[in-house]
Amino acid sequence: MANDHIDLIVEPGQIHALLGENGAGKSTLMNVLYGLSEPDDGEILVDGKAVCFRGPGDAIKAGIGMVHQHFMLVPVFTVAENVVLGDERVRRLGWLDRRRIRREVAELSERYGMPVDPDAVVEDLPVGVQQRVEIIKALLRDAEVLILDEPTAVLIPQEIDELIKVMRALRESGKSIVFITHKLKEVKAVADTITVIRRGQVVGSADPGTSEAELASMMVGRNVVLQVDKAPARPGAQVLRIVGLSVDSELGHRVVDQVSLDVQAGEILAVAGVQGNGQNELVEALLGLRRPVAGSVTVDGRDITGATPKQVLRAGVGYVPEDRQHDGLVAEFSVAENLVLDQYDTAPFAAGVSLQRQALRANAQQQVSEFDIRTSSIDSPVGTLSGGNQQKVVVARELARSLKLMIVSQPTRGVDVGSTEAIHRRIVQARDNGVAVVIVSSELDEVIALADRIAVMCGGRIVGVLPAGASRDEIGLMMAGVAEEQARAESVAHPTEISRLEEGAP
């Protein structure tokens, strides 16, 4: 059961934050509200009347609009076309009334301060603007209640600022907003009232004045440490050296452009960037999963450019892929089998060609207790575990080998707070043991918390490498492609709301 007797009342003209960690049941609740799933029990009232949604169409008619975490836009259509999709304004004979659509889009974007060009093709727009398109789409269908599902996950701080302004403008005009998130700072910045849910149940409400620590403990159910505990790095010898690495996509576009980076033993280098700016391809090229067109990669003095994934792994590289279900785990395999997915053919797990089930089990037992992997049995299929525990399986597997370099993509995406703490601790521990660590993350909080140095990537290039302690706004601007010097000046001149909040806090 993902939701258990949840009561939620959303008032008009109010921003109602729904706070809960990953897997708490926020999205399930919203899918029910939007008619995507049916409740087993209980009812939904709109303006005091009970309604029954058989699908999103009903929800839209009742004035509920949703902006999904993953946008539901047709990339090759223009903004105007996307906005009317499914609710086309037509003239006689089925002709699209483009003029009217354009006018309506322009009106809405002006009214709520969201500049959008109605004729731009969606795939050319930055994610922040795509999100506006989604909001306009909902407003055009006369939504009175807007559900925003993790709207800030893909945005840089400056875009989050813009979004907050838009949300406020919507509130002024009497719309209600349900703001689903697990980020405490944003909640405090924008919400009028906060409902916290944990394990499918409402555990309480709070007002925005509540402290972050208090919100976090409500959300997780115990006191949590919000800071990662780590000593200053003591970098040693150079381990990873990337020189002029370029990678082309399948379609022949240059997605990684002349990237050069050095990473030393005992330090964490974070690669920050908005999703889809070449970070993925860079990592895949390092792992041998993708062939670079130029440049070289050396690990501990050994050239691994163009090596096979197996050779790279055997050279002492650990890899936690961004999408654990797609690339990291075999869902049907047991926890024990997944824990040896990249070592099944080496001793002690193999003797000749025979798989040593005993060794597999012993290894699993040890890892499960050491990493506190919550599973009913080491023989359970890994697909039945929660996201956080699946991620622990991958991290445990990679750390079990003796590593020189560890590459972690999106270390804690879709992972609960408890597991996040554990995974962060392990990453820092690996660093302290002299492993060179590269993390790739689009979560600025995570980058700031973990990194000893921050390489910001935009459009396949490294915009600059910042030391630990660089400001959130500066990193954010560089993620948008602004050069280092300019970003620093700009971030001092125009700090964002979230960062002001951060400084204000004790």
Partner 1 sequence: MSETSTSDDSTVEVEPADPVRPPGFGRAVLDGIVRGNSVVVTFLAIVIALVLGGLLIAFSDSDVQSKLGYFFAAPGDALGAIWHSAWSAYVALFEGSIVDPSFIRDYASGQGSLSQVFYPISETIVQATPLILAGLSVSFAFRAGLFNIGAQGQIIMGAILAGYLGFGVHMPIVIHLIVALLGGFIGGAVWGVIVGWLKARTGAHEVITTIMLNYVAGYLLLYVLQKSVFQRPGRSDSVSRFVPGNARLPLLAGTGLRLHAGIIVALLAALACAWLFNRSTLGFEFKAVGANPEAARTAGMSVGRTYILVMLIAGGLAGLASTAQVLGTDYYLSTGVNSELGFNAITVALLGRAKPWGTVLAGLLFGALQAGGTVMSAQTSTPIDVVTVIQALIVVFIAAPALVRAMFRLRGGAGGEEGQSLSKGWNG
> Is residue 403 within 8 Å of residue 316, measured between CB atoms?
yes
Closer of 281 and 337 to partner 1 (Cβ): 337
Among 350, 362, 465, 501, binds partner 1 (CB under 8 A): 350
Q: Whose CA is closest to 289, among 343, 258, 328, 331? A: 328
Q: In the complex, what is the shortest distance from the CB of residue 313 to partner 1, in angstroms, rounded to a whole number?
A: 5
Record the tokens describing residue 16, joined without a space: 């109602």
Binding span for partner 1 by CB under 8 A among 227-235, 248-256, 375-383, 427-435: 375-383
Q: In the complex, what is the shortest distance from the CB of residue 318 to partner 1, in angstroms, rounded to a whole number?
A: 12
The 10 Å Cβ neighbour count of residue 280 is 22
Bridge partner residues of 398 (DSSP): none
Among 78, 389, 412, 420, binds partner 1 (CB under 8 A): 389
The 10 Å Cβ neighbour count of residue 136 is 25
Sorted by sequence, the CB contacts under 8 Å of residue 452 that are 6+ apart come out as: 232, 233, 235, 267, 268, 269, 431, 468
Closer of 324 and 472 to partner 1 (Cβ): 324
Q: In the complex, what is the shortest distance from the CB of residue 237 to partner 1, in angstroms, rounded to a whole number?
A: 25
Q: In the complex, what is the shortest distance from the CB of residue 337 to partner 1, in angstroms, rounded to a whole number?
A: 7
Closer of 46 and 341 to partner 1 (Cβ): 341
Distance between CA atoms of residues 326 and 138, nearest Å: 32
The answer to whether 25 contacts partner 1 (rule: CB under 8 A) is yes
Pairing of strands 15-19, 193-198: parallel
Q: In the stretch 186-205, what mask flags binding to partner 1 with x, by CB under 8 A?
A: -------------xx-----
> Is residue 473 within 8 Å of residue 155, measured between CB atoms?
no
Q: In the complex, what is the shortest distance from the CB of residue 491 to partner 1, in angstroms, rounded to a whole number?
A: 36
Judged by CB under 8 A, the chain residues 275 through 294 that form the site for partner 1 are 287, 289
Q: Whose CA is closest to 66, among 38, 92, 23, 32? A: 32
Record the tokens describing residue 233, joined without a space: 């790095």
Closer of 56 and 309 to partner 1 (Cβ): 309
Q: Which residue has the tokens 């999106």?
A: 410
The alpha carbon of residue 385 and the mean position of all alpha carbons in its chain are separated, in whole angstroms, by: 20
Q: In the complex, what is the shortest distance from the CB of residue 285 to partner 1, in angstroms, rounded to a whole number?
A: 13
Among 17, 19, 23, 491, binds partner 1 (CB under 8 A): 23
The answer to whether 221 contacts partner 1 (rule: CB under 8 A) is yes
Q: In the complex, what is the shortest distance from the CB of residue 386 to partner 1, in angstroms, rounded to a whole number?
A: 4
The alpha carbon of residue 218 and the mean position of all alpha carbons in its chain are separated, in whole angstroms, by: 22
Q: In the complex, what is the shortest distance from the CB of residue 339 to partner 1, in angstroms, rounded to a whole number?
A: 11
Closer of 214 and 327 to partner 1 (Cβ): 327
Closer of 225 and 505 to partner 1 (Cβ): 225
Q: Whose CA is closest to 165, among 202, 114, 237? A: 114
Judged by CB under 8 A, the chain residues 412 through 471 that form the site for partner 1 are 414, 416, 418
The 10 Å Cβ neighbour count of residue 188 is 21
Q: In the stretch 309-348, what mask flags binding to partner 1 with x, by CB under 8 A?
A: xx-xxx----x-x--xxxxxxxxxx---x---xx-xx---
Closer of 109 and 280 to partner 1 (Cβ): 280
Q: In the complex, what is the shortest distance from the CB of residue 404 to partner 1, in angstroms, rounded to a whole number?
A: 16
Residue 270: its H or E element: strand 268-272
Judged by CB under 8 A, the chain residues 470 through 489 that form the site for partner 1 are none
> Is residue 486 within 8 Å of residue 480, measured between CB atoms?
no
Closer of 327 and 497 to partner 1 (Cβ): 327
Closer of 258 and 325 to partner 1 (Cβ): 325
The answer to whether 386 contacts partner 1 (rule: CB under 8 A) is yes
Among positive and negative, which fits the CA dihedral 262, 268, 269, 271? positive
Q: In the complex, what is the shortest distance from the CB of residue 29 to partner 1, in angstroms, rounded to a whole number?
A: 13
Size of the residue set binding partner 1 (CB under 8 A): 52
CB neighbour class for 300 (10 Å; exposed up to 12, middle 13-18, buried from 19): middle
Closer of 404 and 488 to partner 1 (Cβ): 404
Residue 82: its H or E element: helix 79-84
Q: In the complex, what is the shortest distance from the CB of residue 5 to partner 1, in angstroms, rounded to a whole number?
A: 15
Distance between CA atoms of residues 412 and 316, nearest Å: 22
Closer of 217 and 238 to partner 1 (Cβ): 217
Q: In the complex, what is the shortest distance from the CB of residue 383 to partner 1, in angstroms, rounded to a whole number?
A: 6
Closer of 118 and 388 to partner 1 (Cβ): 388
Q: Whose CA is closest to 4, among 300, 286, 202? A: 202
CB neighbour class for 469 (10 Å; exposed up to 12, middle 13-18, buried from 19): exposed
Cα dihedral 63→28→155→496 (10° resolution): 80
Instruction: Point out which residues bind partner 1 (CB under 8 A).
Output: 2, 23, 25, 199-200, 221-222, 287, 289, 308-310, 312-314, 319, 321, 324-333, 337, 341-342, 344-345, 349-350, 353-355, 357, 374-376, 383-390, 414, 416, 418
